[in-house]
Structures are given as C-alpha cells and as structure tokens.
Amino acid sequence: MIELAGHHKRLTIIVGESDTTGGHSLATAIVRRAHSAGLAGVTVVRGIEGYGASNHIHTTRVLSLSDDLPLVITIVDTAEAIRAFVPTVEHIVDEGLITIDDVEVVRYIGRPATLE
C-alpha cells in the first residue's frame, strides 16, 4: 500500500492535446513513464480554454473549436522522486510549461496492489 503525507513536490506539465512524442500522445507517454518510474500517481486534465507562449487561444467554444486543447499533467511525490523524473519530461516536451512547487499532502493512501 502506498502512503504519502507531509511536505512534498508537485510537478505540473502543461502541453497541447495534439503534442506527440515518437508518434504517440505526449500526455500518455508522460503517464506511462511516470508509472514505470514508480511515481505515486499522475492525473491528466483536459482544459476547456487557454493559451501559452504561441499566444494562440485554444477553446472548446463552438465558433472557434480547437483540436489542440491544453492538457495539465500533475504528479505529486517526494522531492527526490520528482527531481529524478524531471529530466525524462524535459527530454520529451518540446513545447509547453514545466513547473515544480511545494505541496503539503494531507492524506494519500492507495489501495493494495492486485494480482493480475
């Protein structure tokens, strides 16, 4: 069972929905690499509107529907685990934003692993 509490780090990566690496979704690649690295967990959230360094607004509004909405990938783990994972992300993110900030985990308890 995974337990995580106290002061840790949050890695946030913001990329475009159409971003790829090696012919696959960049967000999916990050999730799979984080899982392989044994990080506590990852969440990917699809934004409804936003813009970044290109200054081009991406939105779900009908009149200007975008096929490149922002994706926010969030990972919370120990400082050591996050710092060790950052080079993996930097290597595959060509465009986007990568940030690390302090978080206080109040409660995070995973369920026991199941045998498949």
User: Which residue's structure tokens are 């308890």?
Assistant: 109
**Which pair of structure tokens corresponds to residue 38?**
């044994």
Residue 110 lies in a domain: no
| Biggest CA-to-CA distance, the chain | 48
Whether residue 1 is predicted with pLDDT greater than 80 in this model: the reply is no
Residue 92 lies in a domain: yes
Residue 83 lies in a domain: yes
The predicted pLDDT at position 77 comes to: 95
- Which among 64, 49, 41 has a CA at the least distance from the CA of 16? 49
The predicted pLDDT at position 43 comes to: 97
Segments forming the whole domain that contains residue 25: 6-105
Taking a C-beta distance cutoff of 8 angstroms, is the pair 9, 116 a contact? no
Whether residue 62 is predicted with pLDDT greater than 90 in this model: the reply is no
Nearest-angstrom CA–CA distance, 99 and 7: 17
- What mean pLDDT comes out for the span 47-70? 68
DSSP state of 95: S
Residue 77 lies in a domain: yes
For the purposes of burial, counting CB atoms within 10 Å of the CB of 20, is it exposed (0-12), middle (13-18) or buried (19 or more)? middle
- What mean pLDDT comes out for the span 14-33? 94
When computed from its CA atoms, the radius of gyration of the chain, rounded to whole angstroms, is: 16
Residue 13 belongs to domain with CATH number:
3.30.70.120
**Which pair of structure tokens corresponds to residue 60?**
């779900």
Residue 25 lies in a domain: yes
Number of domains in the chain: 1
Better-predicted residue by pLDDT, 116 or 112: 112
Residue 113 lies in a domain: no
Whether residue 20 is predicted with pLDDT greater than 80 in this model: the reply is yes
Better-predicted residue by pLDDT, 106 or 114: 106
